[in-house]
Chain A
């Protein structure tokens, strides 16, 4: 067996392990360990005498990874972002946002639903996790919509779809993970998430207004808020604005001065502001301890996949499978754009059955180099490239596209997690209800993704300034 063959066999074995329900993190690490062993043993011509040596070198090489690959400044953004999300509950930011959005936007047709979408988008700016966002708003927004006779299924769909925005709009753990795996600038990727996130929310909003205009029964407008009430609703939501501004300014200063620091520092300072707010709202050691334990658990879940997959990636480095896959992709007699769309469709299918973070971590080490090769390589200029953008810009663009695909997977059957969460929170709703209600938003997401492909400037404008 040559290294490429070993790479293919081990990758096949990894898929089997994942399908039979082994925890993804450990399946990837085990595949990597076995792969490393085979690679080292093959160097000695599979001589039985060298088995011991190959096992030792493989174990020691794999055993480095859980320490060395996570000892990284950029990766510290992930626990910080998760912590922000947990603290945000205690800071009472969700209710404040929904109230503010309601007072400003509820006069529109389908007003409460539009308010919900923009409140979830706002909450996305302090929350790194889509599922948590959906759960919180299922509690706050659905009762209010039902009170004024919204269609039950539609109200649930709005929340499930709105919840997905958290992974695109920074802080986003998924964007950080993407940046680390593909070794691109974390700050630029975070910046790149803002506009597509807002664009996505806008498409949702337009869709809701359209539906509400056509089907009068869906959701009536709610008027009667005075300007005084509107402005009074803003201050409790202000910490969100502070976090957004801090994260932006720590990556890029729009006034042409130096940025305030690194994304790592920005995330941590944002967390500190939300922490102070939570203290002010009455959080004490008992609640903080609960938040820290939950943050630690969610963080270790994500990091286990990271180091597990990186053991597998270390093996791929020795087997050079990504190189072989890129060569194959670029040798296809198809237009690069068509291949890219096929790749995104494959993600849509895979995402039906897998968790977003696991899916991205498992596939990107092989898929990302291939996409970069399709565009003409890491160092290609915009003029010579297949997609009309330089290598680094293509990396950012593709990142936003796959993260949007991962969001999409949160609301598609059979395992759209956000839909299950919404149904779980509301006893009067079945999962089928939520899936039915969320269907119009598939169209919205398809429009968004098509828009991001047709107009890459939506993604690239902000990061290209920095």
Chain B
């Protein structure tokens, strides 16, 4: 189900790598958040301009189409770090120890294979839209105002590359736990039963409510 799981930290190199990569992931997450925020501002500009001055934002749809891929992929690794991506917990929830780490390892290895192919494919998609010889290096442009599309296409393999690094950390983390038979390995999201998960989710809202002001 949805919701983040705890990731333990310790003094190991793996945990150090995990925390360093988290800095990059949080930055990408914030960029995606700002892209979402700018959707709101674009609409205010577009509707406001249309209603007050009969001057809607030229290329409104083009801008949205540029922003959406960023919103859809930039934070993909940020969400993988703590297991926010949903899955069916029915099986893994009942596993403990080595059996659990085995299934987790299989899962992240399969994702890693997928992501390698997607980096290849999305890089090729970027390359087809990019041409050093053309003005603005553009070989694919948006419909209304002819914005070059390659920058937003480039963000996809970049985000997937960060995800690949994250998956390498998780493969190592789960693999180590499997071989050593660890109880609570660092740098990987740990499985919580639904109750613990709900408690964590509620705690997150606590932080939010604390800022809720005087009501």
Contact = CB atoms under 8 A, between A and B. Distances in A.
Interface of A: 17-27, 29-30, 33, 58-64, 66-68, 70-73, 75-76, 79-80, 82-83, 86, 89-90, 92, 95-96, 131-132, 135-136, 138-139, 260-261, 264-265, 267-269, 271-272, 275, 281-283, 286-287, 289-301, 303-307, 353-355, 357-358, 415, 417, 420-425, 431
Nearest to A246: B47
Contacts of A293: 26, 29-30, 33
Contacts of A71: 65-66, 68-69, 152
Contact of B122 (A63, A72, A353, A421): A63
Given A299-B32, A300-B78, A303-B73, 11 more contacts: A20-B91, A63-B117, A66-B160, A76-B39, A268-B44, A269-B43, A272-B40, A290-B211, A293-B29, A420-B195, A424-B202
Top 7 nearest A-B pairs (CB, nearest first) are A63-B121, A424-B198, A292-B33, A268-B43, A303-B72, A300-B75, A296-B32
Nearest to A57: B121
Contact of A89 (B26, B30, B46, B208): B208
B114 A24 contact: no
A296 B75 contact: yes
Contacts of A272: 40-41, 43-44
A382 B91 CA distance: 45
Contacts of B162: none
Contacts of A275: 40
A83 B86 CA distance: 19
B118 interface: yes
Interface stretch (B10-18, B105-113, B131-139, B173-181): B105-113
Given A299-B36, A307-B72, A421 B125 contact: no
B194 A420 contact: yes
A64 B125 contact: yes
Contacts of B41: 272
B1 to A, nearest CB: 5
Contacts of A76: 39, 64, 67-68, 71
Contact of A62 (B87, B89, B117, B204): B117
B65 A72 contact: yes
Contacts of A281: 212-213, 215
Contact of A306 (B72, B117, B123): B72
Interface of B: 1-2, 4, 26, 29-30, 32-34, 36-37, 39-44, 46-47, 50, 61, 64-69, 71-76, 78-80, 84-92, 103-104, 106-107, 110-111, 113-115, 117-125, 152-153, 156, 160, 194-202, 204-205, 207-209, 211-213, 215
Chain B contact residues: over half helix, strand or loop, or mixed?
Answer: helix
A268 B32 CA distance: 16
Contacts of B107: 20-23
A67 B205 contact: no
Contact of B76 (A68, A96, A269, A300): A300
22 contacts: A19-B90, A20-B92, A23-B87, A26-B85, A33-B118, A59-B117, A66-B118, A66-B160, A67-B152, A75-B72, A80-B36, A90-B212, A265-B46, A268-B42, A300-B76, A301-B79, A353-B88, A355-B86, A357-B86, A423-B195, A424-B197, A424-B198
Contacts of A60: 120-121, 124-125
B69 A70 contact: yes
Contact of A73 (B65, B72, B212): B65
